[in-house]
């Protein structure tokens, strides 16, 4: 079966380095030391040029910690020159006055996302002593130079009581958005950690209602199911079908130029190609791995066939289903509807 595809992905997630100044126990990419064979500056700049030539809408830059790359500002400047919509995700601890000023000098106008995982006590427990204050100061450096910011927060059974403190911090720095997401079952976040931390369906439903009530000038989002939580999905809505976007509207590129369908589907069995061996556009249009993934995630899971949210949710995040069952034809295990 042939699956019709876009001429280019709408979004590319790029892990620019595996290096990180922290060693968080729940890191989904097991970051720490840079890996051998990461893209050189010239290769990274050429990649940015190709992404722009393909007319990709959004380039999400993360890691590792992107500001561990000595050439990060050069890469950002090239992406800005190519008029790419940029989304930077950072732990915030390396964002000082100099980095914030450089971003301002290039007229960087997109929100920079900083991770804040609960109150000071919990954040420092999982990220290291003093890291809450350093990340918060990073937010303030950015705001001082007029750079918009967003906060992303890992929420779990261990820190759900700290949700309000994250929202209060967001308001204090005039963040455009605060979002709460679940633990990602990959990297250092092994199965035992997921079992111990993952919220129950009833806790997710409570949190989503709380976030909706807390939204105002600053958006507050509870996002356990992907971009379209069940609570906001439309019933029987084929004209606005949601579901998994892996290999359909998005791709992930790691620090060495390996291409995968999405952030979570990044094991060897999902390696679609490498940009050192062939152009990204050729991988996008010709990879047998991407074709297989597209066909499977565009098939409705059998368990979802009688659900009233079947089309607008369409099985949710299939990567989470794969992590739980070994099949992309499985529904999102975080679904609150049995």
| DSSP string for 37-106 | TPPPHHHHHHHHHHHHHTT-SEEEEESS-GGGSTTHHHHHHHHHHTT-EEEEEE-STT--HHHHHHHHHT
What region does 273 belong to: left with phi over 0, alpha with psi -120 to 50, or beta?
A: left
Residue 320, preceding bond cis, omega within 30 degrees? no
State the pLDDT at residue 7: 96
71-77-80-85 Cα dihedral, nearest 10 degrees:
20
In tens digits, what is the pLDDT along the chain, a chain of 338 residues? 456 789 999 999 999 999 999 998 888 888 888 889 999 999 999 999 999 999 999 999 999 999 999 999 999 999 999 999 999 999 999 999 999 999 999 999 999 999 999 999 999 999 999 999 999 999 999 999 999 999 999 999 999 999 999 999 999 999 999 999 988 877 887 766 778 888 888 888 899 899 999 999 999 999 865 444 444 445 444 555 678 899 999 999 999 999 999 999 999 999 999 999 999 999 999 999 999 999 999 999 999 988 888 888 888 889 989 988 999 999 988 887 75
> Which residues are registered as beta bridge partners of 250?
11, 246
Please state the φ and ψ torsions of residue 172, each to the nearest 5 degrees.
-65, -25
Q: What pTM, to 2 d.p., does this model score? A: 0.92
**The tokens of 138 are what?**
């990073």
Residue 188's pLDDT is 83
């Amino acid at each position: 079966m042939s699956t019709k595809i876009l001429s280019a992905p709408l979004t590319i997630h790029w892990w620019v380095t595996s290096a990180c100044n922290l060693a968080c126990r729940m890191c989904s990419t097991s970051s720490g030391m840079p890996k051998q064979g990461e893209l050189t500056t010239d290769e990274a700049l050429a990649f940015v040029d190709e992404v722009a030539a393909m007319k990709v809408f959004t380039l999400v830059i993360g890691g590792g910690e992107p500001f561990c790359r000595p050439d990060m500002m050069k890469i950002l400047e090239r992406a800005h020159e190519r008029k790419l919509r940029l989304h930077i995700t950072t732990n915030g601890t390396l964002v000082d006055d100099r980095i914030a000023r450089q971003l301002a000098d290039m007229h960087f106008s997109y929100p920079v996302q900083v991770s804040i995982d609960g109150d000071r006590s919990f954040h420092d427990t999982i990220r290291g002593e003093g890291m809450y204050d350093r990340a918060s100061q990073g937010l303030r450096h950015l705001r001082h130079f007029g750079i918009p910011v967003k906060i992303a927060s890992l929420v779990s059974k261990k820190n759900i009581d700290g949700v309000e403190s994250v929202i209060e911090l967001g308001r204090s720095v005039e963040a455009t958005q605060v979002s709460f997401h679940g633990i990602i079952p990959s990297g250092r976040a092994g199965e035992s950690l997921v079992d111990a931390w993952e919220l129950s369906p009833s806790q997710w439903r409570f949190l989503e209602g709380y976030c909706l009530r807390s939204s105002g000038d600053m958006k507050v989002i509870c996002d356990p199911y992907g971009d379209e939580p069940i609570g906001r999905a439309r019933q029987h809505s084929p004209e606005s079908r949601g579901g998994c976007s892996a290999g359909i509207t998005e791709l992930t590129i790691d620090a060495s130029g390996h291409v995968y369908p999405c952030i979570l589907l990044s094991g060897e069995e999902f390696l679609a190609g490498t940009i050192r061996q062939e152009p990204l556009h050729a991988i996008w249009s010709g990879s047998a791995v991407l074709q297989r993934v597209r066909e499977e995630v565009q098939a409705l899971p059998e368990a979802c066939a009688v659900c009233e949210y079947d089309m607008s949710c369409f099985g949710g995040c299939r990567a989470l289903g794969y992590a739980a069952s070994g099949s992309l034809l499985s529904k999102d295990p975080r679904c609150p509807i049995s």
